[in-house]
């Protein structure tokens, strides 16, 4: 399935570069002038509350790199289909890149707004690779997600510590809810918890769809005799997972499970991208890509 997807992407990109390069036109083509652009690629969200996060990123990228046009794409087809039913049309990365080629962008910095380099990021890598092969852009650079290098990890630790509600005391736990994945990059969540705990032993990181699971965190919290916990999403947006899996009323929500265990829970419904501390890390990654673009004439 994956192979056919890549194959389709390449065919589509090749087809698009054929039309956009006007290779059937007669006469000599003029050299296309340099035109830089930024493509921001998020998983996407259909939740209205998530728009705060996306607007914040958009604003900060434009303020930091003024004069460079910014485009958006969502990697999640489910989210795009859902939004299309409401009359909101978001591009896939493939479509967004094809459109940018058609608009004669020559140098593009694609920035992943994902948290870890999981399946979505690797799909994006393949798409970027396919577009590179067609030669439609002079330079196409992909920026890493939030947590990639060790330097990123240290900045994320600082961002988490800086954005924990001020009224939390050190005896209270902070329980972060990451998304989690079957992808090998899931190991980043436990790595993050390790690095956070070197600094603050009562900060925990779990995931909805991977390891560490809530049952393990529950056990660790009880071992440490935690009485109160702040539940905070570790996702760019406080969307469906934060509202339901983390803070929902259902028996299997993290709030219900920990409350049942005798821990007072304080849910915080804010995504990481609502805070400048996290957004700055993605914005810096865009800057690194722009630097690479500048090296290519």
d(CA 193, CA 175): 10
Q: DSSP for 102-144?
A: HTT--EEEEEE--SSSSHHHHHHHHHHHHHHHHT-SSEEEEE-
User: Is 38 in contact with 87 (CB distance < 8 Å)?
Assistant: no
Whether 183 sits among the annotated catalytic residues: the reply is no
Q: Which residues pair with 233 in a beta bridge?
A: 177
Helices marked H in 116-223 — which ranges? Answer: 119-134, 150-163, 187-199, 214-223
Q: Which of 67, 44, 75, 47 is nearest to 57 (CA)?
A: 44
Options 107, 114, 179, 241, the catalytic residue = 179
**Parallel, antiparallel or unpaired: strands 228-233 and 36-42:** unpaired
Helix axes 93-102, 2-20, angle to 10 degrees: 10
* Long-range contacts, 21-29 (Cβ 8 Å, 24+): 21/136
d(CA 188, CA 114): 13
Total count of residues recorded for the chain:
297
Q: Which of 220, 234, 258 is nearest to 180 (CA)?
A: 234
The tokens for 93 are 């990365």
Helix axes 119-134, 2-20, angle to 10 degrees: 40
Which positions are annotated as active-site residues?
179
């Amino acid at each position: 399935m994956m192979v056919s997807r890549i194959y389709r992407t390449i065919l589509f990109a090749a087809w698009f570069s054929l039309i956009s390069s006007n290779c059937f036109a007669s006469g000599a083509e003029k050299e296309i002038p340099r035109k830089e652009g930024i493509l921001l690629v998020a998983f996407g969200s259909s939740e209205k509350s998530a728009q705060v996060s996306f607007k914040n990123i958009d604003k900060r990228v434009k303020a930091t790199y003024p004069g460079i046009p910014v485009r958006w794409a969502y990697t999640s087809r489910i989210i795009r289909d859902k939004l299309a039913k409401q009359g909101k049309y978001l591009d896939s990365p493939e479509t967004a890149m094809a459109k940018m080629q058609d608009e004669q962008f020559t140098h593009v910095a694609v920035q992943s707004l994902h948290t870890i380099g999981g399946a979505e990021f690797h799909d994006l890598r393949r798409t970027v690779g396919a577009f590179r092969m067609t030669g439609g852009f002079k330079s196409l650079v992909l920026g890493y997600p939030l947590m990639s290098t060790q330097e990123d990890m240290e900045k994320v630790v600082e961002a988490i510590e800086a954005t924990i509600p001020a009224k939390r005391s050190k005896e209270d736990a902070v329980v972060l809810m990451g998304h989690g994945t079957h992808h090998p990059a899931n190991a980043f969540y436990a790595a993050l918890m390790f690095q956070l705990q070197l600094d603050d032993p009562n900060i925990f990181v779990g995931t909805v769809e991977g390891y560490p699971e809530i049952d393990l965190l529950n056990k660790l919290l009880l071992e440490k005799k935690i009485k109160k916990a702040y539940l905070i999403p570790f996702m760019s947006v406080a969307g469906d997972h934060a509202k339901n899996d983390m803070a929902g009323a259902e028996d299997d929500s993290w709030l219900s499970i920990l409350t049942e265990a005798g821990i007072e829970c304080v849910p915080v419904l804010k995504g990481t991208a609502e805070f400048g501390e996290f957004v700055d890390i993605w914005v810096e990654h865009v800057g690194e890509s722009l630097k690479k673009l500048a090296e290519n004439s």
